[in-house]
Amino acid sequence: MTRKVLLTLAAPLALAGCLPAFQPGAPVLHDISLFSAEGGVLYGYVYGEGTELEVGGRTLELTAGTADDPLAVPGALLVGGEPYLSQSLPPLEPFPFTATRAPFSSDLVISVSRDLSGALYYDGERWFTLLGEARAGYRSRVVPRTRLGGLYGLGELTREEAAVFEAALAARGPLVVAALDEAGARTRQIGGLGGYRNTVLAVQEGVAVASVPEAADSAEDEGAGEDVDKGQQALSWEVLASGSQAAGGDGVTLEVATSQSEFEGLWRRAYGNLTSPPPLPQVDFSQGGVAAAFLGTRPTGGYSVDVRAVREEGSAVVVELVITEPAPGALTTQALTHPWVMVAIRGAELGEVWFRDAASGALLGVARALGGK
């Protein structure tokens, strides 16, 4: 039997209680709203058995099939031959959030003006988690965390829907995308459906560097006028050495030395394949220590590692690494290499050192001091 479903496109409802009851066995509609600063588009995907929908006085047949459309979702029914129902939407005012990059850092600073259920960052290559739930008025500096699932799980996106919208958003370059929670979601009056899901996504394209260092805000909040220990030294750092012929294992190894003997061990490892290593640099371990990153075995030349920045985050020190690989087709030395870099850090306790990829913000690992200086 063919069943007709009446679907009325209407303005958002003020009360969720006005929505008609669901009917068992009827198709399910997932509304996915995608907003930029200029406005939005509502994409309605229908799932279930083939039926007919009455939309704005028109009867549209629901059929199984595929469509040549980049936003077509596998498994969704065609609606009158189209992969989804679409509708233009006015801009969200205010826009749900703003995100900037903290100066000299891979961290982001996010300010929230509407309640969110989650926020992700795309750096042009990989996805990162920024936030879980956040209420309007929230503002914080956050460290992007590597996310393997992409958009899946943001709002009510399924894996198939997430894959489609990931591909569409990836073409826009670096961006931040957030899902509004139920309190901020739009709803439509829909009759005769077996289920309804709603995902509202807001996208900020591009992430500019903040014009004022965020540390200044923190200092004001935490009492910048209080007396400071005159003997306390500001954090400073210097790359001691780097190379491509370290001795050691195949995998990445991250180390921290807080004593002369530990430093000598790192130096021997870095120059273990040389018969005459250079003299050991002078390091004042009463003021800090040395952090080292060994990338392990690489199949050819052309690989290197350097330090872009070193900073404190709470009780930890973060070292941002720039990892270089040979371009495809580049002429390289056909020999195994072992890239490494060593940096002296002064003015900070090195009990815990975090190493991050400066390009992506991904955490490479954590090194902890042995405890004896």
pLDDT along the chain (373 residues), means of 10: 45 44 76 93 89 75 91 94 93 93 80 94 90 90 86 93 95 92 58 81 88 41 33 72 82 93 93 80 91 90 87 87 83 80 91 89 87 47
How many DSSP H helices and E strands does the chain contain?
3, 23
pTM above 0.85, yes or no: no
Q: What is the pLDDT of residue 371?
A: 58
Per-residue pLDDT, 163: 96
Distance CA 16, CA 243 (A): 63
- Would you state the pLDDT for residue 190? 60
Distance CA 161, CA 182 (A): 19
Question: Can you tell me whether residue 316 is helix, strand or coil?
Answer: strand
Q: Check residue 3 and give its pLDDT.
A: 47
Cα 256 to Cα 247, 250, 294, 344, 355: the distances in Å are: 17, 19, 11, 10, 11
Residue 90: asked if its preceding bond is cis (omega within 30°), the reply is no
- Output the pLDDT for position 166: 95
